[in-house]
Amino acid sequence: MTITCFIRYQIDPFQRDAFDEYARNWGRIIPRCGGHLVGYFLPHEGTNDIAWGLITFDSLAAYEAYRTRLRTDPEARDNFQFAQTKRFILREERTFTEVVKGTFEVAPL
């Protein structure tokens, strides 16, 4: 079973560039630690303080192994510290979902 971790961030809209850097850093770190990065998304129009990160895993156990590797990865620790120092993430929520078969990446007829 594949699960997707949807991370909803409330960000400081005046520190959008800092969040962009933070997300780009995860683009290197997440795959190295075992996650399948779908992507990070910044607001474009409308609400200006909500961003998203989507990461898939083969199972909840794979997610737990990823979290263990993340804690020992020097670049991951630095990225967490960067976010704490700059304080551009105001709130973070994680939701785990599974895809409804036949509804994801469906090719047009």
At residue 30, the pLDDT reads 98
* Separation of alpha carbons 28 and 76, rounded Å: 9
Global pTM reads 0.89
In a domain, 19, yes or no: yes
At residue 1, the pLDDT reads 62
In a domain, 106, yes or no: no
In a domain, 58, yes or no: yes
- Cβ(40)–Cβ(26) under 8 Å? yes
In a domain, 103, yes or no: no
Question: Residue range 1-11: average pLDDT?
Answer: 93
β-pairing verdict for 36-41 and 50-57: antiparallel
Write out pLDDT tens, residues 23-82.
Answer: 999 999 999 999 999 999 999 998 999 999 999 999 999 999 999 999 999 999 999 999
Domain that holds residue 71: 3-97
* Separation of alpha carbons 79 and 100, rounded Å: 33
- Indicate the helix (H) or strand (E) that contains 36: strand 36-41
In a domain, 34, yes or no: yes
Q: Residue 97 has which token pair?
A: 């979902």
Can you tell me whether residue 41 is helix, strand or coil? strand
Report the domain count for the chain. 1
Assign residue 90 the CATH number of its domain.
3.30.70.100
**pLDDT category of residue 109 using cuts at 50, 70 and 90:** confident
Length of the chain in residues, anyone?
109
**pLDDT category of residue 99 using cuts at 50, 70 and 90:** confident
In a domain, 107, yes or no: no
User: Roughly what angle, to the nearest 10 degrees, separates helices 60-72 and 16-33?
Assistant: 110
What are the backbone dihedrals phi and psi of residue 35, each rounded to the nearest 5 degrees, phi first? Answer: -90, 155
